Amino acid sequence: MDLPEVCRLARAVLDRVETVVVGKREALETVLTGILAGGHVLLEDFPGLAKTLTARSIAQALGLDFRRLQFTPDLLPSDVTGSYLYNQRTGEFEFRRGPVFTDLLLADEINRTPPKTQAALLEAMQERQVSVEGVTHPLSSPFHVLATANPVEYEGTYPLPEAQLDRFLLRVSFGYPTAEEEVEVLTRRMARRREESVLEPVVDARTLMAMQEALEDVAVDDSVARYMVDLAAATRGHPQVQMGASPRGSLALLLASRARAVLQGRDYVIPEDVKHLAVPALAHRIALRPEVWLRKVDPAAVVAEVCEQVPVPASAQLPSYSGR
């Protein structure tokens, strides 16, 4: 599949999802960017801001096998991965697959369950497999996790382990809609005459994998790759940061920037792609010093400050295939 076709299909997916999710085009683009880059995306914001609706709508538009797992305080790791059950008829233990065996898993309110159960997703998210009772079970391809989470200050939530946060390629916040957008939500609900909305798929799993493979053809100049590394390294030396972004952070910038370049109609990455994705790709990977955290400093503000300090390389302006 060539890159212009990837761009066309990706925009068609966004247009289809936008028929349901109102006024969140930029956030939707970021979520789709993460999926096209082959990663997992964390949707973090207060309840009622269309996080679950977004995950369900994107799964439908992409034509993926989709399962939703509601994370609760009493959820066990085996409820995520599956477990061996004794079959009385055969006299043998058989593996019963958990909801993680799907193309797209919606981990709804992932931070409402204790860290032990949250960690059950670690191997699945990184290795695309789960190990139960010493036996490894491969997951399907493609496999993506769209997780929703409420802010940790919200009552009844547990902080996500740093190792799991690092597995998410991007973290996206939606924010409250404007008054006009909220009126549009009500108008569409009345016109729909039912609560749920069902979207016809634009692509299927095989097409999505072809789109992801095509991103390998997106060019990244050495100066832009150095800019990615410089941004990640700058978070490690920031005076307010206790633990900076790992090399996985600069890799996330590379993968996501290539996907965004295609969405913007280019077959090459420019520094603006990297800068646009710096907060979604890096903010959740840094840990602030305790005294700074008590002052409620936002990690996103730290990353934004780093973006202003790190010199932006000059990029060659090449023709785009979409005329943008």
Say if residues 102 and 140 touch (Cβ distance below 8 Å): yes
Q: Is residue 197 part of a domain?
A: yes
Query: Residue 248 domain-assigned?
Result: yes
Residues 188 and 238 in one domain: no
CATH number of the domain within which 45 lies? 3.40.50.300
Structure confidence by residue, pLDDT tens digits, 100-114: 999 999 998 888 888
Both 45 and 188 in one domain: the answer is yes
Could you tell me which residues come within 8 angstroms of residue 167 by beta carbon, excluding any fewer than 6 positions away? Answer: 40, 121, 122, 125, 126
Residue 82 lies in a domain: no
Domain of 290? 218-315
CATH code, 267: 1.10.8.80
Domain co-membership, 147 together with 17: yes
- Out of 182, 197, 216, a domain closes at 216
Q: Which residue has the higher pLDDT, 211 or 154?
A: 211
320 confidence band (pLDDT: 50, 70, 90) = low
Domain count, the chain: 2
Q: What pLDDT does residue 295 have? A: 72
Q: 284 falls in which pLDDT band (50, 70, 90)?
A: very high
Q: Is residue 45 one of the residues assigned to a domain?
A: yes
9/107 same-domain check: yes
Mark whether 178 and 224 lie in a shared domain. no
In whole angstroms, give the CA distance from residue 214 to residue 143. Answer: 17
pTM of the model: 0.88
Examine the domain organization and report whether 284 and 195 are in the same domain: no
Q: What percent of the chain has pLDDT over 90?
A: 51
Is the separation of the CB atoms in 276 and 225 below 8 Å?
A: no
pLDDT at 169 exceeding the cut of 60: yes
C-beta of residue 81 within 8 angstroms of C-beta of residue 100: yes
> Which pLDDT belongs to residue 315?
59
Which of 163, 192, 216 is the C-terminal boundary of a domain? 216
Are both 114 and 251 inside the same structural domain? no
Cα-to-chain-centroid distance, residue 284: 12
* pLDDT top residue among 310 and 150: 310
In order of 10, 13, 65, 117, the CA distances from 201 in angstroms are 12, 8, 11, 32
- Kindly report, residue by residue over 214-249, the tens digit of the pLDDT: 999 999 999 999 999 999 999 998 888 888 898 999
- Counting residues of the chain whose pLDDT is more than 70, the rounded percentage is 95
Are residues 35 and 144 in contact, defined by beta-carbon separation less than 8 angstroms?
Answer: yes
**Residues 37 and 173 grouped into a single domain:** yes
65 and 178: one domain?
A: yes
Of 167, 194, 216, which residue is a domain's last? Answer: 216
Residue where the block lists tokens 């509601």 = 70
Same domain membership, residue 143 and residue 41? yes
